[in-house]
Amino acid sequence: MYKPQRVHPMAILQFTLRTVYSLGQGLIPLLLIAFAQPEMRRWLFWGLPLLLAFMVAYGILYWLCYVFYISGQELRVEYGVLIKKKRYIPFERIQTIQISAGILHRMFGLVKVQVETAGGGSQAEFVLAALPRDIAAELQHILQEKTQHHEEPGNETEYIEYKLSTRSLLVLASTSNGIGIVLSAILAVISQLDDFFPKADVWGKFAAYAGHLAAGKISLIILVVFLIILLAWLLSLLGTIMQFGGFQLRREGNNIIISRGLFEKHQMSIPIKRIQAIKVVEGLLRQPLGMVSLQVVSMSTTGMKEEGNVLFPILPKAELPGFVEKIAPEFTMSMKLHGLPARSKWGYLLINTIPALIIAILCTVYLPWGYVAFILPLLGAALGNAQYNDAGYQVENNRLLLRSRHLGRVTFIIPKQRVQSMHVSQNPLQARGNLSNLRIAVASSNAAATVQLRGMDIQKSSVIMKWLFAQRH
C-alpha cells in the first residue's frame, strides 16, 4: 500500500464503458440522423469501429496512468493521460469507506472501493474501480486504523453483530413505500405506449374498452386496477429484497460496518465519531406493527443517500433501546418526551385543515362529484392532531431528542457537540401565545441537515438554547 500500484486490469473495461456512455449521450441523436442518410452509412461502418478502438486504447492508457498509494498521513491517487492530476486525502477527512461488488466484479473475485470525505460533494472523493478482495480488505484495515488514530479517544465496544432475519426482510419489503415509485413508473410506461406504437392506437382502444366496461362491468375495472397495484407491490417487494437481502450490521471497536445486497454486494464502514445523529423512522404501515427503521446522519457523500444511510432497515420498537445501547452507546438516552403545550394544538390543526378545505371547495365548484373531497379537511384535522400528539423533546446526558411527524413519525437523537447551529423563530400568531419554532442543524453530506419542532413554549426553547450555548463556552 505504501508503493504506487494499479487497480485490476478489469478496470479497463469499466473505463471504456464509462467513456462510451459519456460520448454516447451526445452522439446518439447525431448517429440516428446519419443512419437515415444512405451516403453517410459507409462512413459510419468504418468510423464507429475506429472510434471504439480509440476508446479501448484510451482506457488502457488511463489504467496505466492510474495509481494509488499511502504516503505519510495521506491517501494519494495520481491519474490522467494528457493532463496529470494528483489528489491527496488527509486521513482526518475520511468519513466512510465503502466496498461493493457487482455481478461482473464477483465473477472475477474483485470489489469496488469508495472513500468518502467531509464536504466531498455529490461524488466519492476516491474510487478504485476494481481491486482484489484481499488488497481491498488490507486497504480498508489500514484506513480504519489511520482514521481511528486521528479521533479523540472513545468508548470502544466489543464485537457485536446483528443480522436481518428472513421474516424481518419480508416485513420490510411488504411495508416498503417503494410501491408508489414503481406504480408511477408503470403508469409512465403505459402513458408512452402510443409513442412507441403509434399505429396501434393503444390509448384509443383502451379508452373505448374502458367506456364499455364502465357501462356495465365496473367490477372488471376494479379488477384491472387491483392487478396493476398488485404488480407494483410485487415489483417493489422484489426490489427491496434484492437491495437489503443479506443485511448485516456489526460494531468493531470504534467502527460500524454494514453489509447488504442480494446480487450486488455493498459494504460500508463508518467511524462512530463521524455519525452526527441517529434518525428513528416510524412509517404509516410500520408504526401499527410496532416496527421502526434506523438511519444515520453523517458528513459522508455518496453513502448517505437513500438506502446508503440505513443503519438497520427494520427493528421491533421494543428492541430499540437495547439495540442503540449495544451498537451506538454514544447515542443512548431515554425515549420519554416532554410534549407541547395545549395552546399549540390549533396551529397544527389549522395548517393541515385550511389548505384541504380550499381544495374541497374548488372540487365542489368545478367537479360533478366534488363534494366527496370534503373528506380531505377531516383527514387534515386527523393528521394535525397526530402531529401535535407525537411532537416532543428531551434533553438528557448531553444529548437532545426531537420528535415530529409529517406523515410518518421521525425521532432524532443528536449529541450536544454535533449541533452545528440552533435557531428559534416566531410568527405573529405564535408570539401572542408565547410559542416558537425550534430548528437544529447538524452537518451532513452536502449541507446542514435541519430538524424542526413547531409550537414549543418560548421559555423551553430559550432553555435549550442556553443549554447548547453553555457547552461552547
The size of the chain, in residues, is 473
pLDDT at 199: 58
Per-residue pLDDT tens digits for 198-238:
555 656 666 666 555 555 556 666 777 788 788 888 888 88
Q: Is 356 helix (H, G, I), strand (E, B) or coil?
A: helix
Exposure on the CB side of residue 271, measured as CA atoms within 13 A: 28
Q: What does pTM read for this prediction?
A: 0.77
In a 10 Å sphere around its CB, with 0-12 CB exposed, 13-18 middle and 19+ buried, how is residue 75 labelled?
buried
* pLDDT tens digits along 11-64: 888 888 877 777 776 677 666 666 666 767 677 777 778 888 888 898 899 889
Listed residue (272, 282, 314) closest to 403, CA to CA = 282
Helix axes 218-244, 202-216, angle to 10 degrees: 120
> What share of residues in the chain are helix, strand, coil (percent, to 5)?
50, 30, 20
Strand partners of residue 68: 5, 77
pLDDT of residue 304: 44
- Whole-angstrom distance, CA of residue 389 vs CA of residue 342: 10
Which helix (H) or strand (E) segment holds residue 397: the answer is none
Q: Check if the beta carbon of residue 427 is closer than 8 Å to that of residue 412.
A: no
Which of 311, 193, 184 lies closest to 257 in space, CA to CA? Answer: 311
Task: Give the residue with greater pLDDT, 182 vs 207.
Answer: 182
Which residues have a Cβ under 8 Å from the Cβ of 41 and sit 6 or more positions away?
34, 35
Kindly tell me if the per-residue pLDDT of 314 is higher than 50.
yes
| Beta-carbon count within 10 A of 264 CB | 16
Q: Which residue has the cell 410559542?
A: 435
Task: Enumerate the domain spans of the chain.
Answer: 11-150, 181-235, 342-387
11-150, which class in CATH? mainly beta
Contact 442, 419 (CB under 8 A): yes
What is the predicted pLDDT for the residue at 222? 74
Distances in Å between the Cα of 328 and the Cα atoms of 299, 321, 331, 401, 417 are 17, 10, 6, 15, 16
Give the tens place of pLDDT for each residue, 102-120: 888 888 888 888 887 765 5
